[in-house]
Structure 1
Amino acid sequence: MSDAEIRRADATTRVARLRRTVQQTSPGEVVLYAVLVVMAGFYLVPIESGLVTSIKTNTAIIGTAPYAPPGANGVTLEKWGTAIDALLRGMGNSLLYAVPATVISAVLGSVTAYGLTMPTWKRAYKAPLIALIVAGIFIPYQAVLVPLTQFWSQWVGIAQHLSFVWALGVPDDYAGIVELVITHVAYGLPICTLLFRTYYKTMSTEMIESARLDGASLRRVYRRIVLPLSGPMFAVVLIYQFTQIWNDLLFTLVLVSTESSPAAPVVLILAGLGSSLEGQDFALRMAGAFFAALPTLAVYIFFGEEFAEGVSA
């Protein structure tokens, strides 16, 4: 059989297989797929509009719809270069507090949840602690702004305690970065603890009971058994915490204040990017928004499989 005949036979087989698939598809499945396609388009249109806008010239933005292509003469990458130059410093500052705050809150949440789940506690002691932790999740950011400001500025004065760091040439504005780390750890600890506790309650206790019978301490059980099995939930918590901390603007405005500060995070610089007396530079703002979102996207991609496993656990 020649190559042409083999290709025709393969094509015939594929067509026949496709016809059988279409015949076996019920009307309900067709409606379901149509709804899914419409929903996917609904959620992707804003992303497409933002990307298209970020590569348009100012003339193309005025002359075309937000989701329409810019045309051959309306494409420019100048706004992306300007956005990267403006946000690169803020990106580094955001990583300085987002990464340690995420890791510390995840580790402390895991240890706290283990202490509230595995050891045998009297209900009279455990219930109030869990209630306080759950209550901490529902405290809005706005409710703590005034006491938070007083705590750092009047009671702690962390800039004075870190004078040896400023003596090395580091601007004292970076005291706000330290304050952001501690604030986000404290505010994120309740939700991290609750997520880990929910995961640990579903964990099989046979290995843990066997280890305890063999004389293993609570610390050894956690280090050798519980912690290695906590990978999927760590992925969930790390993604959630990193996204929340990276996108937070309210605490940043209170503790760092101005985008001109050497320690200004990326969200603070992004808030004023493209704004001027002449109006809004929408292409620059869209380019900056997509550039600022790259770290969160990278975290989702890196921990994607573990995140899916942790959510389904």
Structure 2
Amino acid sequence: MSSPPANPNPEDHTRRERIERAMREADRTRVALYAVLAGLVGFYLAPLEAGLMTAFKTTEAFNQTVPFLPPIFGGFTFEPWQIAFDAMSGALINSLLLAIPGSVLSAGLGSIAAYGLTTIDWKYQMPLVALFVAGIFIPYQAVLVPLSRLYAIVNTQELLSFLWGLPLMHDHYASIINLIVTHVAYGIPITFLLFRGYYRSLSDDMIEAARLDGASVFSIYRNIVLPLSKPMFAVTLIYQFTQIWNDLLFALVILPSGGGAAAPVTIALNSLTGGIVESFNTQMAGAFVAALPTLLVYVLFGEQFAKGVAGET
């Protein structure tokens, strides 16, 4: 006959109960945490969802339904998007002509300045660094009057009059050039500071070895520093593109009244506001049209942006 099974150890049974109790409590805590996170996500996405639903509604459907509800009962239409795009198509091109050169120039000049003031030791280096840093803290409002006076004296349209007869060149590009110069000058300090912090993390031994091999300052920057700067270029380009694309204040001050043919997308979006009757569906569609390019930039360069923020090379 087989012997009866041994009695279970009371300590093992107690330990098993404690483990099962802890697992049940952990599951309840996890469920509660996920519920809170889902609630926060819904809270922050609610305005976006309401705006998107509004952009697909007719005016009658918007007036008769709650903004959060989708237009499922005959109120669905693409007309607000068509109206917004037709009204903003020229401004979208103007903003691209403004944001792309402005971002590239400010990032490139900020990189060169940071290289010269970080990896090379020379006299009066720190006072210049202090000037760049001080430029970050100058508010927009402090330079509006000097800028308007400057561009009233310096007539860019007359200075570049020889260009306006060329194909694809228009005289309102002079106003866009003024905006580009302004954003580049205002963007160099912040891009300089970002690149300076990035270049301080680079290996000094690598740069010193290149110097011992006889490489010039320009060769070191072009062949070593510049290829390693791709993640930080992604950060500065995305940052500058977003800042320039969303700017309204400089455009209102520097451009002629109403922006004219040089109006960027922010002025065009502001012009979508109605008079007596507000077209909220068209305004919401215009807001999404205006935000789409910056969203695409983040999607396309998001990986490089994350590497640059993390300080990876």
TM range (shorter): 0.7 to 0.9
Compute the displacement of 1:262 (Å).
1.6
Structure 1 vs Structure 2: percent identity of aligned residues? 56
Distance 1:178 1:129 in 2: 27
Is 1:60 the equivalent of 2:61? yes
Give the match for residue 6 of structure 1.
none
Q: Which residue of 1 aligns with 2:42?
A: 41
The letter for the 2-side match of 1:48 is: E
Q: Distance in 2 between matches of 1:200 and 1:26?
A: 46
Stretches of structure 2 lacking an aligned partner (at least 5 in a row):
1-22
Output the amino acid matched with 1:310.
Answer: G
- Distance in 2 separating the partners of 1:77 and 1:116: 53
Q: Counterpart of 2:125? A: 126
Aligned residue number for residue 104 of structure 2: 103
Structure 2 letter corresponding to 1:227? L
Match of 2:286 in 1: 288
1:25 deviates by 4.1
TM-score normalised to structure 2 length = 0.87
Corresponding residue for residue 147 of structure 1: 146
Q: Which stretch shifts more, 132-141 or 258-267?
A: 258-267
- Give, as a single letter, the amino acid of the residue that structure 1 aligns with 2:160: L
Q: CA deviation at 1:64?
A: 1.6
Partner of 1:192: 191
2:157 corresponds in structure 1 to 159
Q: What pairs up with 1:16-35 in 2 under 5 angstroms?
A: 25=26, 27-35=28-36
- For 2:34 and 2:119, how far apart are their aligned partners in 1? 45
Q: Give the CA deviation at 1:279.
A: 2.0
Q: Is this contact kept in 2: 1:171–1:262, CA < 8 A?
A: no
Q: Give CA-to-partner distance per residue, 1:183-219, whole Å, 9 cap, x none.
A: 1100000000000001111122221111111111111
Aligned-pair CA distance for 1:46:
1.4
In structure 2, what is the Cα distance between the partners aligned to 1:55 and 1:257? 34
The amino acid that maps onto 1:57 is T
Q: How does 1:1-313 map to 2 (within 5 A)?
A: 25=26, 27-122=28-123, 125-154=124-153, 156-168=154-166, 170-259=169-258, 261-276=260-275, 278-313=276-311
- Work out the CA distance in 2 between the residues paired with 1:116 and 1:27: 55
Structure 1: give runs of 5+ residues left out of the alignment.
1-21
Residue type at the aligned position of 1:54: A
TM-score, with length taken from structure 1 = 0.87
1:150 to partner: Cα distance: 0.7
Residue 108 of structure 2 aligns with an amino acid whose one-letter code is V
Task: Deviation per CA, 1:151-190: give whole Å up to 9, x if none.
Answer: 1111x21111111123348443321101011111000000
* Alpha-carbon separation, structure 2, partners of 1:258 and 1:268: 11
Q: Pick the structure with greater CA Rg.
A: 2
Q: What does the per-residue CA deviation read over 1:213-235, in whole Å, with 9 as the maximum and x for residues that have no partner?
A: 11111111111111101011000
- Are 1:258 and 1:268, in contact at CA under 8 Å, matched by a contact in 2? no
